[in-house]
Structure 1
C-alpha cells in the first residue's frame, strides 16, 4: 500500500471534525484509520503499508534538487498526523515500511520484486501512475481500493500507449510535471508513444538516430537533434522516474502476514487522537481476525 495516497485523500476531503488531546486536528488520521479498518475487515493475507519519509532527504533530491520542488512540505500539524498514521497502522497489525533514503514507491517495488515467487497475485494499493511500471506480471494490478478500480498491464498500455516496462522511457521523453521531472521540449505523449511502439526502448533510437527522421510523427526530422541535445537530461529523468526494486527489506512473505491487533494500544491511540467513534469498527475487525 502507498500510504500517502490515502492519508492525503482524507486530509483534503474531510472537515477538521476530530482533534487530538494535544490540540492537533486529526482528520487525516481518522480517514486513514477508517480505511485501514475496512482493509482488515476484508481479511487480506499479506499487507505492507509503505510511508514516505524522504521528502527532502532521498537520493533523488541529491541528484536533482528540483525534484518535487513544487510540492509544499508538511507543516508541524500535518507532520503530527503523518507520524500518528504510522503508529495506528502498527497497532492494527500491519507491517509498515519507511525510509529517509527511498520513497514509498521504491519500498513497494522492492517488496514486490523480492516476493514474486511467494505471492500471486499482488495488488498495489494506489492511484499513482508511476507504480504502473511495476506491473510486469499479468496477474498483478494497481488497485484504487477506495474506488474499487483495478488496472492491469493492458490498462496501462491503453492509457499511455506504452507497456509498464516502457513507462520510464516514456516519462523521460514527456516529463512528469507532478514530480517536476523535465521532458524533452517538443516531444509530446503521442510522439513518445509512437517512438516506443512495438516494444522499442528509447536506447534504440539513441543508438540509431538516423532512423528518427522516418518516424511518422510531426517534426520527425528534428527528433534526432532534440534527443541528442537532451541526452544528459534524459538519463537524469530515467534515474528519477525508475522505481528502485532491489532494497533488501524482508526475507520472506511471512514478514507481511497480518499480525494480531494490539487492541489496548489501538484504543489508547483512538482516545489520544479523538477518533473514539471508530472503536466499534475496531472491535468488528478484531473479532473477524480472531475467528
Structure 2
C-alpha cells in the first residue's frame, strides 16, 4: 500500500551535528558533519523505504513564527544558530531538495506544522502516513488508524492506537496535555502543580481544556489530589492555559496544496546531486561514495 513519509528533518540534522566528528570542512572552513550525516540518513532511508510519497519539513522560523507574535518568550531558551550551523542547515535542505524530497520551510510556520498539514491532506485522500521523528509530541499529526510514528534511528514504530494506549490519551488531546503541564523544551509554562500524570487524568475525565473549565465544580470526580488547590491554580492560570494551547496545537493549514501529488517522489539525476555536493564543498572521495550508494538504492 502507498504511504506518505513525513520527515522531521531537524531531528536528523542535529543528531548528525552533535554526534559526528568535525572531520570534514569546505573551503570556507565550515564544518560539514551535519551535511554528511543527513545525506547518509536520506540515502539509507530512501533505499530502505523506496517511497512513493515523501516530504521533509525544516525549521526556519526561529524567532519569526506566528507563535512568537502570540508569546514573545516562546522558545526563548533556544540559542539561535551561528553562521557555521546556519550554513549546514541551509545546505541540508538544499541537498534534500536535490535528492528529490519535497521540502517545506518558512518564516511563519514550524516543521511540525508542515507535517501536520501534509498528514491532514493525506487523510483526506485515505493515504496512510508515517511521521519520521524522535519527537513523540508529533503524534498529534496522526489522523487515521493506519498512521504511525517512526523513530527511524531507534527503528521503533508506533501506530496511532499503540501511542494512545501507551500514553493514556488520544492524539487529539496532545496540545491540551502540553498546555496544562507546560513544555520546558519550548519555554511554555504550565499550570503549577500539574504534571504529566495529573494532566492525563484530567483529560481522560473531562476530554479537553474546554470541558475541564466547564466542569471545575466537578473536579472532585477526577482521581487527583489537592482538588481545592488544583481548582484555584486552574482559575488563576486560565488565560495562560488557553494561550499555551494556541502554541502547542499544530497548524494543519500551513500548506496550500490541493492533493498529495506534490509529495510524489521522483528519482533525481545523479549529475544534479553531484553538482550540489560540490557546491556545498564536499570532498571527491565522499561524493563518489555517496553517489554510488544512492545509485545502489535502486538496484
TM bin, normalised by shorter chain, reads over 0.9
Name the structure 2 match of 1:136: 143
* CA drift at 1:199: 6.6
Superposition map of 1:26-105 within 5 A: 26-42=32-48, 43-105=50-112
Name the structure 1 match of 2:168: 161
Worse-superposed segment, 254-263 or 53-62:
254-263
1:248 corresponds, among 255, 258, 270, to 255
Q: Let me know the Cα RMSD of the aligned residues.
A: 1.7
Name the structure 2 match of 1:280: 289
TM-score in terms of structure 1 length: 0.94
Worse-superposed segment, 271-280 or 137-146:
271-280
Name the structure 2 match of 1:126: 133
Q: Report the 3-state secondary structure (helix = DSSP H, G, I; strand = E; otherwise coil) of the residue aligned with 2:123.
A: coil
2:18 corresponds, among 12, 34, 41, to 12
Q: Provide the aligned length of Structure 1 versus Structure 2.
A: 290
- Separation of aligned partners in 2, 1:285 and 1:251: 31
Q: Alpha-carbon deviations, 1:41-90, whole Å to 9, x = none?
A: 12111111111110110000111111111111100000000010011111
Name the structure 2 match of 1:212: 219
Q: Report the 3-state secondary structure (helix = DSSP H, G, I; strand = E; otherwise coil) of the residue aligned with 1:196.
A: helix
2:27 corresponds, among 2, 21, 25, to 21
- Separation of aligned partners in 1, 2:163 and 2:297: 35
Q: Alpha-carbon deviations, 1:130-166, whole Å to 9, x = none?
A: 2111223111111111221112223333443221111
- Separation of aligned partners in 2, 1:275 and 1:87: 17
* CA drift at 1:253: 1.5
Name the structure 1 match of 2:199: 192
* CA drift at 1:282: 2.4
Q: Report the 3-state secondary structure (helix = DSSP H, G, I; strand = E; otherwise coil) of the residue aligned with 1:47.
A: strand
Which stretches of structure 1, 4 residues or more, deviate above 6 A after TM superposition? none
Change (3 A) 1:145 1:115: same
TM-score in terms of structure 2 length: 0.91
Asked if 1:3 is matched to 2:14, the reply is no
Gapped runs of 5+ residues in structure 2? 1-6
* CA drift at 1:22: 2.2
Given that residues 205 and 211 in structure 1 are in contact (C-alpha distance below 8 angstroms), is that contact kept between their aligned partners in structure 2?
A: no
Superposition map of 1:178-189 within 5 A: 178-189=185-196
Worse-superposed segment, 98-107 or 254-263:
254-263
